[in-house]
């Protein structure tokens, strides 16, 4: 399993470009966010999206898929963002929030079955910078763990996902608190998870 060590949520330009190249090639990487570390791939690479769904045993017919964007402009290319949602995103991002929005038609078919997409603009420079270098969103789903040490310690994550993921960004210790989720598919946003 490949690994790239970063310090203080500050990858170098070269590191971010290197990770983006691996993702463009269809690889699956474990990358830190402002909540849990995430299992990520290029959200527009259908084969990689399918591989992440299989790895996490996600059924796209029944589960929302989420993407990380580097900002609201990128998010608007892949989700329908109404005025209220835009205002919330502008006020609350970057941050540990997932906004469930209606998906645009330019996402892979795994997103189209539910017609929605979770949008993340994390308060994590590493994830946003990799996304920016990739030039499109990252599919993201939280790592699985039984022991909190495996959620926090990148060395233990590497051990747990060796042979399952292609690489890991070895950043600071991870968290164990998932994002809040806000459903923005109707006129009035609804908090699904606080």
Tell me what pLDDT residue 80 has. 94
Residue 110 confidence (pLDDT): 84
pLDDT in tens, 86-130: 999 999 999 999 999 999 988 888 887 778 999 999 999 999 999
pLDDT at 109: 83
Neighbouring C-alpha atoms within 13 Å toward the C-beta of 139:
30
The total number of structural domains in the chain stands at 1
Pairwise CA distance, residues 26 & 8, whole Å: 27
pTM above 0.75, yes or no: yes
Question: By residue range, what is the domain housing residue 82?
Answer: 2-193
Give the separation between CA 126 and CA 182, rounded to whole angstroms: 23
pLDDT score recorded for residue 49: 95
pLDDT score recorded for residue 188: 87
pLDDT digits (tens, 9 = 90+) for 54-94: 999 999 888 889 999 999 999 999 999 999 999 999 999 99
Q: Which CATH number fits the domain that encloses residue 126?
A: 3.90.870.10
Q: What is the mean pLDDT of the chain?
A: 94
């Amino acid at each position: 399993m490949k690994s790239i060590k970063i310090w203080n949520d500050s990858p170098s330009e070269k590191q971010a470009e290197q990770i983006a190249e691996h993702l463009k090639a269809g690889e699956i990487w474990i990358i830190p966010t402002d909540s849990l570390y995430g299992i990520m791939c290029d959200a527009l690479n259908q084969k990689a999206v399918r591989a992440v769904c299989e790895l996490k045993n996600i059924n796209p017919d029944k589960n929302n898929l989420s993407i990380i964007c580097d900002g609201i402009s990128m998010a608007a290319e892949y989700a329908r963002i109404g005025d209220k949602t835009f205002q919330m995103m502008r006020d609350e991002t970057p941050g540990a929030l997932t906004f469930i929005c209606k998906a645009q038609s330019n996402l892979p078919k795994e997103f189209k079955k539910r017609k929605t997409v979770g949008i993340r603009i994390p308060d994590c420079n590493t994830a946003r910078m990799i996304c920016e270098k990739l030039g499109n969103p990252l599919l993201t789903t939280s790592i699985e763990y039984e022991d909190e040490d495996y959620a926090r310690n990148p060395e233990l994550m590497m051990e747990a996902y060796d042979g399952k993921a292609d690489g890991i960004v070895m950043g600071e210790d991870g968290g164990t608190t998932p994002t809040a989720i806000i459903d923005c598919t109707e006129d009035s946003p609804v908090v699904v998870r606080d």
